[in-house]
């Protein structure tokens, strides 16, 4: 817990301010919200000289504290990433405002008119690890969808996040929206995170984004409704009929393009009849890229440059240049393996067989199921959402990348003329 | 805990059987599911001579244990209510199957085709109190939406529920669907309910339906995602411009038609300028119906036949022939009162003023907001859902009456031709 000034607002005062701000945001027009987002995008670019030095302090601290290369990568901001963040904010400006959308409606026989409207959640809480881009993504998606947001970022990014929240608040102030619409509770430390999980009545939904440990502890402790995100033991299955070239490209891209994120490939499954044809070129390409291969016996029979996989490898989200590889008897074997070990994030089949593609799509019970595509496409930006709050791996409320619509609730409006129930 | 036979399935075996049944249900055709529902409707009518005697035992036990009149009413089945249940099942047969519906879709610039499909949750858990109709409603809505369901009913209805689940299972067997698609865990007592709340990986969503105490304990203990239902401190606000006759009818119907349920009116608010005009006829009609009036001072100034309200009255869900009444200065006073005391279930304004109606509808943050209609219409059956799983008072996933669509999740299907991320 850091020292706080005597007149700094208390935790409860901050949440009350969030609630009050959420009422203003809920009634804000699309034009007002878009003006705030434009101001945020501009402020990100204008404050590069404040943001990047703060980020360099976090990076240096992280390196000193022995953070892994993957975590340092996720923590790092640079000019290019800041520009990409500002661009993502502008993309969200261009997206339609979900608030007020009529989801369903009907006129009942008794003359009542029902309309189900999309409304903001109110106050969204986010608990996440050291990824400063998440601060911007969640804040901006929350604002555009009419919500106030309370952020608890990882302490490894605290300098970066403090500056980013200040930058966002200055843009809110400039455009006349309440600055309390985006607040951090980082100054309350771990105790603040715990209190946030118990803040029923103040916070309408809590989104943990990060490691499986973080998510599990939020799920266990929170009395606020939670949307789980993230953990991805992601599978690619190479069917008997797969093209070698497609298999090589999709596996390489899924594993290597950004190994530190949740949609990166972790376990490769191959049909036994094609192991000899597919595995040597697919795995050789991974070895060239520096990937360590943790393989079962049948894999090592056709590709020797691998370490023996243990049971743990099938359940591990490496987030690094490691991959687990297993040969399966057939599609049923692949489905069984996935059913047993998948975290229900993303699974992809590489095949030319229509019936098998359809069976895989129908029977794999994951947030995103793919045929002949890299698992790296499970991403709000790639899906056209501008950015994402996270990737939900639960089935309640939202599943897969969460954009604007996923940050909304609904409200039934009933218009009558004196009807009573008989 | 009741004695179990040596070869009775364990709790975990039952949940594994639910999971296996859910896989069959997820792939079942609409015709198969409708055939099962028709068989259930027929079986309810054919087994009246088994169901009603079991219910009479529960009623007798309840009366001996001093259950309130409201709870006994909710527990009671008779020929008319059984027929209504069977009719509700047939109404659900007639509703469209939500599974496979395309929610959204798009083609990306890189040629990927995205489709968001509606899929079942998988296994739905329900923990509820002594309302046997809930057993039928939840089981049938779950089946039609492709889910398996695990039921934990209140012990006060255990005889009725045991027979109802047997009746449902016989209908499932007859139509070739797995009988484990509908199971009760009542034989495991309270410990079973606790285990159900911790059954992550086995149960995809848990729906508590009943008292505020029940719901709060499920929210606090559950690690399975929860949809909160029920508690309703429901308000009607009589605006300055309200017609006397509309006010009398809507208040009477909202309070008296079935006081033991969550959409019944609990607190009446009246604009000060119309208190003298509206309260005497409105409250006189309630008194005729045997309603006890808990009123603030300004109300008692114009209607003497009332007891003095205490702070507790504003937060109480009576579920009985009691009502709290307050005079407010104006619409803002009503909105403040509602913001402070509402459980965000249903609120209705009686008015002839368009601007005030729209403001009430926009600013009251409840699952259902009404103008000139009885609060008793917040009901899945009335909304055209055939029945309801409960009325969600949270903002996550579902809000208001929950029917078929509210028992589904979604899945993203991505079809590519070898795309990788650049």
List the domains of chain A with CATH numbers: 11-229+389-414 (3.40.605.10), 234-377 (3.40.309.10)
Residue B3 has a pLDDT of 46
Q: What is the average per-residue pLDDT within B22-43? A: 97
pLDDT in tens, B341-397: 999 999 999 999 999 999 999 999 999 999 999 999 999 989 988 888 889 998 999
Q: What is the average per-residue pLDDT within A40-52? A: 97
Work out the minimum CA distance from B420 to partner chain A, whole angstroms. 5
The total number of residues written for chain A in this structure = 422
pLDDT in tens, A284-332: 999 999 999 999 999 999 999 999 999 999 999 998 999 999 999 999 9
Q: At a CB cut-off of 8 Å and minimum separation 6, what does A166 contact?
A: none
CB contact under 8 A, A252 and B420: yes
Most A-contacting residue of B253, B344, B420, B422 (CB-CB within 10 A), to test interface: B420
**Rg value, chain A, Cα:** 23
Most A-contacting residue of B84, B245, B373, B405 (CB-CB within 10 A), to test interface: B373
Task: Return the axis-axis angle of helices A30-46 and A48-64, rounded to nearest 10°.
Answer: 70
Residue A7 has a pLDDT of 64
Q: What is the average per-residue pLDDT within A242-265? A: 96
Q: What element of type H or E holds A281?
A: helix A275-288
**How many CB pairs lie under 8 A apart between chains A and B?**
203
Task: Give the span between the Cα atoms of A270 and A272, in whole angstroms.
Answer: 6
Say which DSSP state B130 is in.
Answer: S
Measure CB to CB from residue B410 to each of A249, A399, A413 and give the nearest one.
A399
Token readout for A130 is 């050291």
Helix (H, G, I), strand (E, B) or coil at B419: strand
Work out the minimum CA distance from A64 to partner chain B, whole angstroms. 32
CB contact under 8 A, A372 and B416: yes
CB contact under 8 A, A220 and B223: yes
**What does pTM read for this prediction?**
0.90
Work out the minimum CA distance from B395 to partner chain A, whole angstroms. 5
Which residues of chain B have a CB within 8 Å of the CB of A119? 365
Work out the minimum CA distance from A172 to partner chain B, whole angstroms. 23
CB contact under 8 A, A370 and B397: no
Q: pLDDT higher for B1 or B122?
A: B122
Work out the minimum CA distance from A350 to partner chain B, whole angstroms. 8
Task: Give the span between the Cα atoms of A168 and A36, in whole angstroms.
Answer: 9
Q: What is the average per-residue pLDDT within A112-134? A: 94
Residue A22 has a pLDDT of 97
Work out the minimum CA distance from A402 to partner chain B, whole angstroms. 12
Q: At residue B61, what are phi and psi to the nearest 5 degrees?
A: -60, -40
CB contact under 8 A, A372 and B417: yes
Asked whether residue B7 carries a pLDDT value surpassing 80, the answer given is: no
Residue A3 has a pLDDT of 46
DSSP assignment of A92-157 equals HHHSPP-TT-EEEEEE-TTS-EEEEEEEE-SEEEEEE-S-HHHHHHHHHHHHHTT-EEEEE--GGG
Task: Give the span between the Cα atoms of A415 and B382, in whole angstroms.
Answer: 14
Residue B6 has a pLDDT of 52
pLDDT in tens, B130-140: 889 999 999 99
The angle subtended at Cα B199 by Cα B194 and Cα B203, nearest 5°, is 120
CB contact under 8 A, B418 and A243: yes
The total number of residues written for chain B in this structure = 422
Q: What is the average per-residue pLDDT within A355-366? A: 96
Residue A2 has a pLDDT of 45
- The closest of B297, B295, B342 to B315, measured between CA atoms, is B342
pLDDT in tens, A199-217: 988 999 999 987 788 888 8
Which residues of chain A have a CB within 8 Å of the CB of B372? 415-419
Measure CB to CB from residue B121 to each of A372, A395, A416 and give the nearest one.
A395
Q: Are A405 and A147 in contact (CB under 8 A)?
A: no
Token readout for A234 is 């992601």
Q: Give me the torsion for CA of A333, A337, A340, A345, rounded to 10°.
A: -130
pLDDT in tens, B290-344: 999 999 999 999 999 999 999 999 999 998 999 999 999 999 999 999 999 999 9
């Amino acid at each position: 817990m850091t020292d706080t000034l005597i007149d700094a607002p208390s935790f409860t005062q901050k949440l009350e301010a969030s609630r009050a701000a959420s009422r203003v945001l809920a009634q804000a027009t699309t034009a007002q919200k878009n003006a705030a987002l434009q101001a945020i995008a501009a402020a990100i670019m204008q404050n590069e000289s404040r943001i990047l030095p703060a980020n360099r302090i976090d990076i240096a601290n992280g390196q000193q504290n022995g953070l892994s290369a993957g975590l340092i990568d996720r923590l790092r901001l640079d000019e290019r990433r800041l520009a990409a963040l500002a661009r993502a904010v502008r993309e969200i400006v261009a997206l339609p405002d979900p608030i007020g959308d009529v989801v369903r409606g009907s006129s009942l026989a008794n003359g009542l008119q029902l309309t189900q409207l999309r409304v903001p959640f109110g106050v969204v809480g986010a608990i996440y690890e050291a990824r400063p881009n998440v601060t911007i993504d969640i804040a901006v998606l929350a604002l555009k969808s009419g919500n106030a947001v309370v952020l608890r970022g990882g302490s490894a990014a605290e300098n970066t996040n403090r500056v980013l929240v200040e930058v966002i608040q200055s843009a809110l102030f400039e455009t006349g929206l309440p600055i309390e619409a985006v607040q951090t509770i980082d100054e309350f430390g771990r105790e603040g995170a715990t209190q946030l999980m118990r803040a029923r009545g103040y916070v309408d939904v809590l989104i943990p984004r990060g490691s499986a440990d973080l998510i599990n502890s939020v799920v266990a402790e929170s009395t606020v409704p939670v949307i789980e995100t993230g953990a991805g033991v992601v599978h690619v299955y190479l069917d008997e009929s797969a093209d070698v070239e497609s298999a090589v490209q999709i596996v390489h891209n899924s594993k290597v393009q950004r190994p530190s994120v949740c949609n990166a490939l972790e376990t490769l499954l191959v049909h036994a009849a094609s192991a000899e044809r597919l595995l040597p070129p697919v795995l050789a390409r991974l070895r060239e890229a520096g990937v360590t291969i943790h393989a079962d016996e049948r894999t090592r029979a056709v590709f020797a440059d691998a370490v023996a996989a243990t049971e743990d490898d099938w359940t591990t989200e490496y987030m690094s240049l490691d991959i687990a590889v297993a040969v399966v008897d057939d599609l049923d074997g692949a489905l069984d393996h996935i059913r047993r070990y998948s975290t229900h994030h993303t699974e992809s089949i590489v095949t030319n067989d229509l019936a098998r593609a359809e069976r895989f799509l129908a029977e794999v019970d994951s947030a995103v199921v793919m045929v002949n595509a890299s698992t790296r496409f499970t991403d709000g930006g790639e899906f056209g959402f501008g950015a994402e709050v996270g990737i939900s791996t639960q089935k309640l409320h939202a599943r897969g990348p969460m954009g604007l619509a996923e940050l909304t609730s609904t409200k039934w409006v009933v218009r009558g003329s004196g009807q009573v129930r008989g």
